[in-house]
Structure 1
């Protein structure tokens, strides 16, 4: 009798485990099929810039610079050769640089009267560095100009960026979507996964949807008119945000300001990450705002959910070894769909090789970054931030 009960109990446990594996696998399939569907929708959200009409205005370019000597020389060399009269000012903010950033700016100030310099020596305690630098610069922009925010590491056809920006209308933000340049293994694997996650679940289609509160813009390159900028609260409203562009986009949507995306991948690029630490630090920065705004239980559930999402499909290997063919095939389907999702994400950034097969590496970095954002804090541009 006892032996019979044991057999029945083992069968029940076995059935529960099999059901769990099937449910988790099918859930993963559903999640990534949804992501693939969203990637397709998101990549159809760009405006046709050829048909975008707008009266051209002068443009003031705002460039924050902290230890940017490697980027500024080429950037300013290119900009000073643009004779486009649309460019009114090129305002650079030296944010306590310890390299030759300020010297390079002053050198080009002597060559081009449009270039202006703002130097920050002390940062107010109530501000984070980048929002403060951008806010200071916007105070020097004439009310009739368009503000073009541009990071120092953005490269490409500046003339075209300025021309498109000059047509920005009141009540709108033009967000340029750049190509993220990769040249190292870590970068290719991580960029494929992160592009897939961003475009698949936090994509442009969500931002242009008026019924969705989510907002996204690329802080490295976007344009807005001064009146609209002040209407959404300017950078003063995001002065304590590490990911200030994301919150600024959310503020814009709450004020019914339209965010328009321009597919700029063929004429703007910015270098992606160089190594494991730069990728991890960037991800920790992105997670920082989420970690500080959610409860601990929600944080742990998020971590467990991501752990299952990325690594559960790999159990098809032990299932095959133990000859659980039916279960292994179901799990293998989830692994296959996940790889397709990540591969398509890589394609949005012109990554054509199947780095998606190695997503377990970038998933590991992502999970470590999530934990560090909560327990170790973030080091960004030489400054430490802790919850």
Structure 2
């Protein structure tokens, strides 16, 4: 009974990939590899530099596209699903490359073809990853896209003949024209409402994207850090960590109580609040690293903490491979609650009071400042009085510097006799 259920699960995931937008992206990736296969077979003799700079141009175009795309996403704070517009531009470049191939202008053809295949590669794999659901099928979809890309490269290497550029150009021209027509058809179906390629199959991702809160929780996290900075200007770190540690544990419990695979959108508010509390609590760890590590090893402690943060971030990605989302959520929640519950008493017990750098150094070295003796006002406890063998009416204050004033007083007869005995002795 278990094998049929597994086969049925695989079949459902496979059928989810057969919508027109997904299939079209996979075919475009195959066409991108197809053009690269012709390059790998024909452009292998470096007779001069001109026919071979196009690879560098294609890479620069891909980087420029990535930069502009990233700035656009940061400006809108949303994922705008521009993939098919970019693929359309890439297909136009590939079409122009095939036209130059027909006229045997191979050097110019390489430039346009390589720019086109680079753009399609970038937008294609990005779209494949974006359209995945939360069931853990992303690795399989990416592997399928990569297999089609490699298959297109192998096909282009076999079919194309470097000695017959016109025949190769006709084949490439037909493929690019067909794909351009399909891209236009896909856009038409989207505008008529038959399909919607500008959405992901991950419902939580769509909700975050619509609310302009997609940016991966870091906007909420940074807001939490700013809120924590404001709180720490008024309250002690112990109190802030205690309150928000308990709040985080409570929110995680509430998240587990209402979580459902079919209605994961109900968890949206709790996820937002959890990210904010994580931002408030994050500053405590850096505070400990900076004020509890010896000065000679401060940078080493920071580096170790940063490496642990990267390991935790990369390790959390493996939850996408989990076959059961509920089990993965429970494991992550239990670990987070256990660490938070352990950290709260440790912070309350060992959290140092912030002080000057010298006081931090002294605390780390075990040096304690001695208490100052009480201030003395009697003249025999100080050195602010000088004795002279003068009449009382001739005495006056002697000022040495700005803050040192010495008061004179006359020597009595007994003091004079004792001084004479001392000199004789």
The structure with the greater share of residues assigned to strand is: 1
Instruction: Mark yes or no: TM-score above 0.5.
Output: no
TM-score range, shorter chain: under 0.3
Structure-1-length-normalised TM-score: 0.22
Greater fraction helix: 2
